[in-house]
């Protein structure tokens, strides 16, 4: 009689995990992930720092040349000095905004910009102010085309510009805007006179005298004073031309010294040998 034994089957199933063990395993995974991410971030930061240090001290990026354009009166060295650009500085550390701001503080520079050009060049572009006239107010100042008095004249500077006079230093300080507006009007008058051009007497202006209340008068090199006031200059110039012809016909032109054109429909003439003529 045979007895068949059933084979014993081994139980391979894992014992059920408790909630605490599950939570511990999840927490460990999070910690491990955080450690890996942090390690990668540190590696990236160290790598970036290393690259930055390499570029910072690599001679390839050191400043070798400053190219200046737009300068006429100022020399290249004067522009570089005004920009305060350090020789041999690394281009990656250059503050272009600060360079531009320093250049704009120079009285002769109206606008400026600066650019990097790798490997070792800075390009500086400037627009200089152009003198249009000279203002005499205690000291002599250059005036640009926008009637801004921007720089004092230095020995050797050109004086071949229209000269505005009649303003005191205190008026310039306290009424600078009014002075500037009157200079702007005066430049318009000078342009009209220059375009007329055919009359040698009026085109040879020695100075434009300003009065904040009464306006402008031209002092010619022949010694005449032509009073124009504050506006309507084209009509007054036509009146001046007619008056000159009238005085020439009467033989009184050479003695006319003060011609006041600042009237609605007439002019007043003061001569050197007679009290006055009216025409």
**Which pLDDT band holds residue 1 (cuts at 50, 70, 90)?**
very low
Q: In this structure, which topology does domain 59-128 adopt according to CATH?
A: Ubiquitin-like (UB roll) (3.10.20)
Window from 127-131, 141-145, 193-197, 204-208 with minimum mean pLDDT: 193-197
pLDDT digits (tens, 9 = 90+) for 32-65: 565 555 645 555 555 554 455 455 555 667 888 9
- Do the first three CATH levels of 59-128 and 131-278 match, i.e. the same topology? no
**Strand, helix or coil for residue 57:** coil
Q: Using the predicted structure, report yes or no on whether residue 252 has a pLDDT greater than 70.
A: yes
C-beta of residue 277 within 8 angstroms of C-beta of residue 252: yes
C-beta of residue 205 within 8 angstroms of C-beta of residue 193: yes
- Residue 119 is given by DSSP the state T
Interacting residues of 153 by C-beta distance below 8 A, sequence separation 6+: 134, 139, 140, 141, 142, 159
More confident residue, 86 or 54: 86
C-beta of residue 137 within 8 angstroms of C-beta of residue 152: no
Element containing residue 121 per DSSP (H, E): strand 121-128
C-beta of residue 162 within 8 angstroms of C-beta of residue 156: no
**pLDDT at position 23:** 66
**pLDDT at position 17:** 58
Both tokens of 79, joined, read 């522009």
Q: State the Cα–Cα distance between residues 277 and 183, nearest whole angstrom.
A: 30
Cα 46 to Cα 15, 50, 53, 58, 84: the distances in Å are 46, 6, 10, 18, 33
Q: Using the predicted structure, report yes or no on whether residue 278 has a pLDDT greater than 70.
A: no
C-beta of residue 218 within 8 angstroms of C-beta of residue 226: yes
Q: Using the predicted structure, report yes or no on whether residue 185 has a pLDDT greater than 90.
A: yes
More confident residue, 49 or 139: 139
Residue ranges of alpha helices (H) inside 57-148 are 76-83, 96-104
**pLDDT at position 7:** 56
The candidate with the shortest Cα–Cα distance to 209, out of 229, 195, 194, 192, is 229
**Which pLDDT band holds residue 86 (cuts at 50, 70, 90)?**
confident
Q: State the Cα–Cα distance between residues 199 and 57, nearest whole angstrom.
A: 69
**pLDDT at position 153:** 94
**Strand, helix or coil for residue 16:** coil
Q: State the Cα–Cα distance between residues 135 and 184, nearest whole angstrom.
A: 12
Average pLDDT over residues 175-191: 94
Please calculate the CA angle 135-142-157 and round it to the nearest 5 degrees: 115
What are the boundaries of each domain within the chain?
A: 59-128, 131-278
Mean residue pLDDT across the chain = 83
CATH number of 131-278: 3.40.50.11690
Burial status of residue 84 (CB atoms within 10 A of its CB: 0-12, 13-18, 19 or more): exposed
């Amino acid at each position: 009689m045979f007895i068949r034994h059933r084979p014993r089957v081994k139980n391979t199933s894992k014992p059920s995990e408790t909630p605490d063990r599950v939570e511990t395993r999840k927490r460990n995974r999070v910690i491990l992930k955080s450690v890996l991410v942090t390690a990668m971030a540190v590696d990236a930061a160290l790598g970036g720092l290393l690259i930055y240090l390499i570029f910072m001290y690599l001679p390839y990026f050191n400043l070798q040349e400053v190219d200046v354009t737009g300068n006429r009166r100022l020399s290249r060295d004067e522009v570089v000095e005004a920009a305060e650009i350090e020789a041999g500085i690394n281009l990656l550390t250059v503050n272009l905004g600060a360079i531009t701001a320093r250049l704009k503080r120079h009285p002769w520079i109206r606008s400026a910009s600066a650019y990097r050009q790798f490997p070792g060049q800075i390009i500086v572009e400037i627009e200089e102010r152009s003198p249009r006239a000279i203002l005499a107010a205690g000291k002599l100042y250059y005036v640009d085309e926008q009637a801004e008095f921007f720089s004092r004249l230095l020995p050797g500077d050109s004086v071949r510009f229209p000269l505005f006079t009649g303003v005191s230093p205190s008026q310039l300080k306290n009424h600078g805007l009014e002075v500037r507006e009157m200079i702007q009007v005066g430049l318009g008058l000078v342009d009209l006179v220059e375009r007329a051009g055919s009359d040698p007497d009026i085109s040879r202006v020695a100075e434009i005298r300003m009065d904040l209340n009464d306006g402008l008068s031209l002092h010619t090199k022949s010694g005449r004073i032509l009073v124009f006031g504050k506006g309507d200059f084209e009509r007054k110039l036509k009146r001046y031309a007619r008056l000159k012809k009238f005085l020439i016909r009467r033989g009184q032109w050479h003695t006319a010294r003060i011609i006041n054109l600042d009237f609605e429909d007439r002019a007043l003439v003061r001569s050197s040998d007679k009290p006055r003529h009216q025409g």
